Amino acid sequence: MSDRQYMRVRADMPPGHVRTPAYLRGKCGWVERTLGPFPNPEALAYGLQAQALPLMRMRFSMTEVWGAAAANPNDTIDAEIYSHWLEPAEAPHAP
């Protein structure tokens, strides 16, 4: 994954309908692939006009997400994150 973009999920905790799981907020991962654009569910949920956004399939290491509690550091979690929840991050050495 070393040639992929490395990004951090924003650590925001807003109320309301969002599709970014709390356990991934503030965590960094690699862009596994780019999807979309897809309309923003945070607007669709309220019947509002929704902006189309890129959707990133992010890959996180278990260690990044759970720290020392990760039983198998090489295992991974993939999740789709809308682009407005992502910010650039400095890449560590390639996993």
Interaction site with another protein (CB under 8 A): 13-17, 19-25, 35-36, 38, 41, 44-47, 55, 57, 65-67, 69, 71-72, 74-82
CB of 3: closest distance to another protein in angstroms?
19
Closest CA to 78 of 37, 19, 11, 33: 33
Q: What's the CA dihedral at 95, 22, 53, 63 to 10 degrees? A: 0
Question: Which of 78/88 has CB closer to another protein?
Answer: 78
CB of 90: closest distance to another protein in angstroms?
24
Question: Which of 7/81 has CB closer to another protein?
Answer: 81
Sign of CA dihedral 9, 7, 42, 77: negative
